Amino acid sequence: MDNNQENLTNEILRHIQSTKRHINKFKNEVENKDIIVCMGNTRSGKSTAVNFIQGNELEAFKEGRRFYIKERDSNNNGPVISHGSISYTKIPTVWEVNDNLVVVDMPGFDDNRGVPQDIVNNIFFNQFKYAKSVRFALIADINDILSDNVGSFTDAMEKMQTIIDDFNELKDSVCVIFTKEYRNYKREDIAEILNKKIVSVSAMQVKKDLVYHLVKNPGLIGIFKMPLTEGIVTKEGVDCSVEDAIFKTQPIIINIQNIKFKTSEGAHSVLLELYQKHCHEMNFSDEIKSFVGNFENYLKISNYVFASTEEELHDTKGRLQYLLPRVTTEKARIFTNVNQLELSLYGIAGSFSQHFETKFNFLKFMDSLELLDANIKSIMISKYKNALSYLEDDINKLIKKIDGEIEDRTKETIRYILSGVVSDKGKIALMGASMIPVATKALNAIGLEVPTVTFEIVQLSSVGGCFVGAGALGVAAGGYAVHYYKTIYLRQLARKEQGRC
């Protein structure tokens, strides 16, 4: 991995790790709650709208010719309202409305902290599956649609539409709250402006699903008016259907409706490149070699089996037969996440190399956050199962090789034993030949004369036959014995060369 990729990986991990505590806290705060998710650009009036929805006391003040809103009590339980270009919302924050309802203040769409922030935002989005129900409110400065350049609004609108794969699943759960309005526009007026400036402009290459839906359903438009006098901000003075628009949306249950949130295109591209690089550099076969332990020598060194003792062969075969079912079982297992893959891999390998573990942990962590690309996960599982298949084949081949060696040695031993028997028969034949003259003399002594010619013929033929038979048997026996002891010598020599003596 080049330095730029490694630095980006580390930055993403640092960014995620630094917010990990906040993610867990966020999950607990939204769990089993009805939530309103407020999104929008920085300076759109999002924090002001959140405070208003909470019911916090607000105060209007004037600077120059313009009116602004601030928290009346700086210690109130709501987001800080800023009036500059700095966004105080760095991570999604949960604010309570009542025991059952909370508002989530998301960082601005135009937050410039790049890919790591996009990824963190997506992690927070994925925690919405623990909520009881979810509604979305896009907060927008009305001046963004009144000016000649509506780009700021359409950018926010497009980002809103790209947070899930199919926006049609979400559109009935989204409203738009326009802030800083002081011209007494009504919902229908704003719907007409949106139709004229965005929907009807064919040359405008933007996703128009949301704005088209608003034009057709102006009840999903809320207006937060700018106060025109200093003092306490009253609901009657600024609220033109904010709450009405929010609660006209259809609450969705993320988990049941299986809504999937997406990272931005930039973040997705970066992550996919990192995933592919990490996955490509992970060699599962190398990691599971430790599973066969000392058996690796049997696989790698051609005459390692030949040089093993019978005790070593039987012991190795027994252990291989014990391990083989584990490999077969893991190969057949169905994996749905990387954590399951890790447990299986640890059961086989026992430990990982540092190079492998670094990459694997990154992919496992991203999978736990539901950010790992499904194709990458599938490739990882396939690579692991392929490695197990190779290992299974190697174990079966080794068992077969050991069986062949044990069988050959059994045959050699039988030949050697038989060669000893044959050698003994040769000795008996020689002893028989030496007894012929003695027998002849005994016959003559008791008056049974054996003719000289007959004696000589019998003696010569018997002795010759015995010697020929003895010689043939002896040569055969000697050949088996030489081969047997030569094999033992070669085996000992191989062990010495392998450092096994």
* 398 neighbors 298 (Cβ within 8 angstroms): yes
Angle CA 395–396–399, to nearest 5: 85
Mapping DSSP to helix (H, G, I), strand (E, B) and coil, where does residue 229 land?
A: coil
Question: If you average pLDDT over every residue of the chain, what do you get?
Answer: 83
Instruction: Give the separation between CA 448 and CA 468, rounded to whole angstroms.
Output: 29
Residue 13 is predicted with a pLDDT of: 78
Residue 477 is predicted with a pLDDT of: 58
In the chain, the percentage of residues whose pLDDT exceeds 90 is 39
Question: How many other β-carbons are positioned within 10 Å of the β-carbon of residue 59?
Answer: 15
Residue 211 has pLDDT above 50, yes or no: yes
Mapping DSSP to helix (H, G, I), strand (E, B) and coil, where does residue 58 land?
A: strand
Residue 442 is predicted with a pLDDT of: 46
Residue 29 has pLDDT above 50, yes or no: yes
Would you say how long the chain is, in residues? Answer: 501
* 233 neighbors 59 (Cβ within 8 angstroms): yes
Instruction: Give the separation between CA 317 and CA 464, rounded to whole angstroms.
Output: 52
Residue 215 is predicted with a pLDDT of: 95
User: Tell me: the pLDDT tens digits for 411-437?
Assistant: 988 888 887 655 554 544 444 445 545
Is 3-260 a CATH 1.10.238 domain? no
Top-confidence range, 58-62, 162-166, 234-238, 430-434:
58-62
Nearest Cα residue to 95 out of 170, 157, 26: 26
Mean pLDDT of 125-131: 92
Q: Beta 221-225 vs 174-181: how paired, if at all? A: parallel
Instruction: Give the separation between CA 308 and CA 492, rounded to whole angstroms.
Output: 9
Instruction: Give the separation between CA 382 and CA 294, rounded to whole angstroms.
Output: 26
Least confident of 62-76, 243-257, 282-296, 387-401: 282-296
Residue 337 is predicted with a pLDDT of: 93
Which residue type occupies 466? C
Residue 250 is predicted with a pLDDT of: 95
Cα four-point dihedral sign 314, 315, 320, 322: positive
Residue 68 is predicted with a pLDDT of: 85
With cut-offs at 50, 70 and 90, classify the pLDDT of residue 467.
very low
Residue 217 is predicted with a pLDDT of: 96
User: Tell me: the pLDDT tens digits for 386-413?
Assistant: 999 999 998 999 999 999 999 999 998 8
pTM assigned to the model? 0.68
Q: Residue 451: beta bridge partners?
A: none
DSSP code at position 307: T
Residue 54 is predicted with a pLDDT of: 92
Residue 475 has pLDDT above 60, yes or no: no
With cut-offs at 50, 70 and 90, classify the pLDDT of residue 213.
very high
With cut-offs at 50, 70 and 90, classify the pLDDT of residue 96.
very high
Instruction: Give the separation between CA 300 and CA 414, rounded to whole angstroms.
Output: 30
